[in-house]
């Protein structure tokens, strides 16, 4: 499994980026502007996990954000993505490899947080379920069950394909792909896993995102789960942390992370 690792850069006074993403013919611009005087510093490490058909490079901007906040970062390529070998395992078996990777490292900086985008949220949830040293999860547009996510994604972002292929054919193809990877459809349903975890979880979703809609993520009251609708965002755009996301993440971190002593 290929990965990138980087230390915090707390000596930087500003962090600015603009990311332009094309989705469904629309140009979506995501912006982040931070100044050191307005940002708290935290201790720990963040593992950032990308989504389906992406790679570790898709999480680099968000990794810059967490480095600016004082975190060390680890950014892996999921199996069958980027520079990692083996076949795609749809986030499920990736969690086992990531667990081995983390267990072999002697320099993990605690507290440890996982950030998962789309299919990466499947890995993050499964990984949190098998490790006892995780302090919290941040899930960015976590994927629904894979067959439903495939249908919604193709209908929204590949409309020409959906004209010629029915929803049922897409579902059948998604399930066949899972079977070929020896992964069950139920294993891609992370809602039961999230509900069973006893660690704080922040879920950022958009009511405009058909792949991970806000209405899908409803959990019983009293859980350590916070679900936030971040407004009008595409599914691809949810991999990038924006100014609006920053407000919600820092508020959550203030309650669930350790501040660095100044």
Calculate mean pLDDT across residues 60-74. Answer: 97
pLDDT score recorded for residue 261: 56
* Beta strand segments in 39-158, E: 45-49, 72-76, 112-117, 134-140
Q: What is the radius of gyration, based on Cα positions, of the chain? A: 18
pLDDT band at 251 (very low <50, low <70, confident <90, very high): very high
Strand 45-49 versus strand 112-117 pairing type: parallel
Q: Where are the domains of the chain?
A: 3-256
Task: Determine the Cα–Cα distance for residues 82 and 77; give it in Å rounded to an integer.
Answer: 6
Q: Is 232 helix (H, G, I), strand (E, B) or coil?
A: coil
Strand 14-23 versus strand 26-35 pairing type: antiparallel
Residue 223, φ and ψ in degrees, nearest 5: -80, 165
pLDDT band at 42 (very low <50, low <70, confident <90, very high): very high
- Whether residue 118 contacts residue 143, with contact meaning beta carbons closer than 8 Å, is answered with yes
24 in the Ramachandran plot: left (φ > 0), alpha (ψ -120 to 50) or beta? left
What's the mean pLDDT when you consider all of the chain?
93
pLDDT score recorded for residue 25: 75
pTM: 0.94
- Other beta carbons within 10 angstroms of residue 5's beta carbon come to 14
pLDDT score recorded for residue 221: 65
Query: Which CATH number is 3-256 given?
Result: 3.40.50.1820
Tokens representing 211 are 């792949």
- Whether residue 135 contacts residue 199, with contact meaning beta carbons closer than 8 Å, is answered with yes
Task: Determine the Cα–Cα distance for residues 109 and 111; give it in Å rounded to an integer.
Answer: 6
Supply angle C-alpha 28, 235, 174, rounded to 5: 145
Give the tens place of pLDDT for each residue, 166-199. 999 999 999 999 999 999 999 999 999 999 999 9
């Amino acid at each position: 499994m290929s990965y990138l690792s980087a230390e915090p850069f707390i000596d930087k006074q500003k962090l600015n980026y603009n990311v332009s993403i094309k989705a469904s013919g629309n140009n979506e611009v995501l912006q982040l502007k931070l100044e050191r005087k307005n940002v708290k510093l935290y201790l720990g490490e963040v593992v950032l996990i990308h989504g389906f058909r992406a790679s570790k490079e898709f999480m680099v901007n968000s990794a810059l954000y967490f480095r600016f906040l004082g975190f060390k970062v680890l950014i892996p390529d999921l199996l069958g993505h980027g520079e990692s070998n083996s076949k795609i395992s749809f986030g499920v078996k990736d969690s086992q490899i990531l667990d081995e990777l983390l267990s072999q490292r002697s320099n993990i900086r605690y507290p440890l947080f996982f950030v998962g985008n789309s299919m990466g949220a499947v890995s993050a949830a499964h990984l949190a379920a098998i490790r006892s040293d995780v302090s919290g999860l941040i899930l960015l547009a976590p994927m629904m069950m894979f067959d439903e996510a495939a249908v919604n994604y193709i209908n929204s972002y590949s409309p020409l394909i959906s004209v010629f292929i029915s929803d049922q054919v897409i579902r059948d193809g998604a399930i066949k792909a899972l079977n070929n990877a020896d992964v069950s459809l139920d294993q891609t349903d992370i809602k039961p896993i999230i509900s069973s975890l006893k660690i704080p979880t922040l879920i950022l979703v958009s009511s405009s995102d058909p792949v991970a809609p806000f209405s899908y993520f409803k959990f019983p009251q009293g859980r350590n789960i916070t679900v936030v609708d971040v407004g009008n965002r595409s599914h691809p755009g949810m991999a990038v942390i924006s100014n609006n996301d920053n407000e919600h993440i820092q508020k959550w971190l203030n309650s669930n992370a350790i501040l660095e002593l100044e």
